[in-house]
Amino acid sequence: MIKSLLLITLLSLSSVGFAFESFEVEDIRLVGADRISHGTIFTYLPIEKGDTVTQSSVTRSIKSLFRTGYFSDVKISRDGSVLVVSLTERPAIASIDIDGNKAIKTEELLKGLRDIGLVEGEVFDKLQLDRVQNELVRQYYSRGKYNVVVDAKVKELDRNRVRVSIDIDEGKAAKIKHIKVVGNTVFTDEELIDTFESDTTNLLSWYSSDDQYSKEKLNGDLEKLKSYYMDRGYIDFNVESVQVTISQDKKAIYITINISEGKQYTFGEMKVTGDMVLDKEIFERLIVSEKGEIFARNLTEATSERMKIVLGNVGYAFAEITPVPEIDEEKLVVDMTYYISPGKRVYVRKINFNGNIKTKDEVLRREMRQFEGGWYSKSLVERSKIRLQQQPFVEEVEIETPKVPGTDDQVDVEVTIKERNSGQFTFSVGYSQVTGINTAVSVSLQNLLGTGNTLSFAVNNSSYFKQLNVFYENPYYTDDGISRGFSVNYSTSNFGEANIARYSSSNGGVGMQMSFPVSEYDRIFTRLAYERKSVKAFLGSTASLIFSDLCALGGYTYSTQPLLPTGVEWNGLDCLPEPVDQLPPTDPIGVRDGELIPFEVRKSFTFLKAEARWSRDSRNRYFNPTRGSYYRLGAEFSTPGSTAEFYKFEAKTNKLFPLTENLTLSLTGEIGYGDGYGESDKLPFFENFFAGGVSSVRGYRDNTLGPKSSVLIDEYPD
Give DSSP secondary structure letters for 444-484: EESSGGGSS-EEEEEEEE-SSEEEEEEEEEETTSSTT--EE
DSSP label at 676? E
Q: Taking the mean position of all CA atoms in its chain, how far away is CA 392?
A: 13
Separation between Cα atoms, residue 197 and residue 188, nearest integer Å? 17
Exposed e or buried b for every residue in 3-42, given b needs 16+ CB within 10 A? eeeeeeeebbeebbeeebeeeebeebeeeebeebeeeebe
The answer to whether 650 touches 641, Cβ cutoff 8 Å, is no
- Of 541, 546, 516, 511, the C-alpha closest to 528 is 511
Pairing of β 410-419 and β 347-354 = parallel
CATH number of 175-260: 3.10.20.310
100, amino acid identity: G
| All structural domains of the chain with their residue ranges | 2-89, 92-169, 175-260, 266-341, 347-419, 501-555+603-708
Topology (CATH) of 266-341: Ubiquitin-like (UB roll) (3.10.20)
- Of 401, 403, 294, 274, the C-alpha closest to 340 is 274
- Of 203, 195, 141, 150, the C-alpha closest to 173 is 141
Domain 175-260 identical in fold to domain 266-341: yes
The SS3 of residue 325 is strand
Give first-to-last CA distance, the chain, whole Å. Answer: 111
pLDDT at 347: 94
Radius of gyration of the chain (CA): 40
Q: Which residues contact 249 (CB under 8 A, 6 or more apart)?
A: none
pLDDT at 140: 86
Pairing of β 503-517 and β 483-494 = antiparallel
Separation between Cα atoms, residue 205 and residue 144, nearest integer Å? 15
Topology (CATH) of 92-169: Ubiquitin-like (UB roll) (3.10.20)
Domain 347-419 is found in CATH 3.30.390.30: no
pLDDT at 18: 47
Domain 501-555+603-708 is found in CATH 2.40.160.50: yes
Separation between Cα atoms, residue 163 and residue 92, nearest integer Å? 9
Q: Taking the mean position of all CA atoms in its chain, how far away is CA 90?
A: 46
488, amino acid identity: V
The answer to whether 596 touches 583, Cβ cutoff 8 Å, is no
Neighbours of 209 (CB within 10 A): 16
DSSP label at 631? E
pLDDT at 549: 56
CATH architecture observed for domain 2-89? Roll (3.10)
Q: Which residues contact 6 (CB under 8 A, 6 or more apart)?
A: none
Q: Which residues pair with 84 in a beta bridge?
A: 29, 77
Separation between Cα atoms, residue 403 and residue 206, nearest integer Å? 47
Across the chain, which has 718 residues, the per-10-residue mean pLDDT values are 36 48 87 85 89 88 87 88 88 88 86 84 80 86 84 87 89 87 94 91 81 88 96 95 90 93 96 94 94 96 95 94 95 96 95 94 95 94 94 94 93 95 80 69 90 92 84 94 95 66 78 95 96 72 49 47 41 41 38 46 82 95 90 94 89 92 88 88 77 67 59 42
623, amino acid identity: F
Separation between Cα atoms, residue 349 and residue 341, nearest integer Å? 23
372 burial class (0-12, 13-18, 19+ CB within 10 angstroms)?
Answer: middle
Beta-sheet strand order (sheet of 92-99):
92-99, 161-169, 149-157
Region at 69 (left for phi over 0; alpha for psi -120 to 50; beta for the rest):
left
What sign has the CA pseudo-torsion 399, 400, 405, 406?
A: positive
